[in-house]
Amino acid sequence: MNGQVLVEVEGVSRFYGKTAAVADVSFLIRRGEVLGFLGPNGAGKTTTMQMLSGNLAPSQGRISIAGRDLLENPTDAKRHIGYLPEYPPLYRELTVDEFLDFCAGLHGLSGKERKAARERAKARCGLAEVGGRLTGHLSKGYQQRAGLAQAILHDPDVIILDEPTVGLDPIQMREMRSLIRELGREHAVILSTHILPEVRASCDRVQIINGGRLVLNERIPDLDRRMQSSVLTVTFRRRPSLEALAALPGVGAVTPEGETRFKLFHDPSADPTEALIKLATEHAWGIYEISPEHQSLEALFVELTGQAGEA
């Protein structure tokens, strides 16, 4: 059932000595959702992923996976989790088939069930042709796919991916992102990254963590609406009347950028472009350039974390 809450994180903190790597973090992830977890180096992404996957105990707080408390019923809760850590946990001397069979065994699958799970995961991750190859001999992209196949083998409700595209070439990256999108249709997926365009390419919602605290949790369409342009840069051939520009509907302020270049700050819901063209034509000011300035996710990231993300 899409929309069902599959991950519930409530007031989770993790201390190392007196330092909080993660501090009082709460959020939900629903089935059918891909959540992008962004943050600068050392922000607490991996620590959060490790706690969500049941590999690290929180110092405080509660995590529930598909309705099961991860601390009280770890074995039961972990059955519903697939985890791809930052470095895929491969046994280099095993073939892809042997590796996936071994992992299926760990999930308690045997015989026909095991083979079916292995073949399904291989097909989903584009590994059908390489079942007999040693994982240690695969390219980085294929090793990542084998890591992902391991994570989805038991058809878990929740898929946790720690920096899934690190080290991939642009084509492999695109394939991995489309696979993540596809998985997101039926599962709840959380992926951590510091590649900003990755979030737009793969995610429905973005969370930004900084210094262990969540500083943003927003759906991508809401974010886009919030980041709608509210500034127009305009260049004229002849110097216009500043008063006339400032009087355009929706325009709050006009600042000169040069003799004939101006920035018009306007209400995001009232784009003055049409009225501006009409006015410029009436007065023969001659428009050279009108360009809306969109606030980028990058700018928002810098504003919230004080650090640059990877473009």
Sign of CA dihedral 296, 223, 301, 202: negative
- Considering the rule CB under 6 A, would residue 208 count as an interface residue with ligand ATP? no
Least distance from C-beta 41 to ligand ATP, angstroms?
A: 3
Contact track, ligand ATP, 218-237, x by CB under 6 A? --------------------
- Considering the rule CB under 6 A, would residue 44 count as an interface residue with ligand ATP? yes
Contact track, ligand ATP, 119-158, x by CB under 6 A? ----------------------------------------
Least distance from C-beta 160 to ligand ATP, angstroms?
A: 13
The binder of ligand ATP chosen from 43, 159, 190, 208 (CB under 6 A): 43
Residue closer to ligand ATP by CB (options 13, 47) is 47
SS3 242: helix
Give 190's contacts (C-beta < 8 A, 6+ positions apart): 7, 29, 34, 35, 37, 49, 52, 158, 159, 160, 161
- Across the chain, where does the E strand assignment appear? 5-16, 19-30, 33-38, 60-65, 68-69, 81-84, 158-162, 188-193, 205-210, 213-219, 231-236, 251-256, 261-266, 287-293
Using CB under 6 A as the binding rule, the residues of this chain from 10 to 39 that contact ligand ATP are 16, 21, 39
Least distance from C-beta 278 to ligand ATP, angstroms?
A: 50
d(CA 144, CA 150): 10
DSSP string, 142-194: HHHHHHHHHHHTT--SEEEEESTTTT--HHHHHHHHHHHHHHHHHSEEEEEES
- Considering the rule CB under 6 A, would residue 183 count as an interface residue with ligand ATP? no
* Count, residues near ligand ATP per rule CB under 6 A: 11
Least distance from C-beta 199 to ligand ATP, angstroms?
A: 14
Least distance from C-beta 195 to ligand ATP, angstroms?
A: 11
The Cβ of residue 67 has, within 10 Å, a number of other Cβ atoms equal to: 14
Least distance from C-beta 172 to ligand ATP, angstroms?
A: 20
Residue closer to ligand ATP by CB (options 47, 207) is 47
Residue closer to ligand ATP by CB (options 45, 80) is 45
At 237, list the tokens: 């051939």
SS3 237: coil
The binder of ligand ATP chosen from 13, 46, 53, 144 (CB under 6 A): 46
52 and 44 Cβ atoms separated by less than 8 Å? no
Residues near ligand ATP (CB under 6 A): 16, 21, 39, 41-47, 194
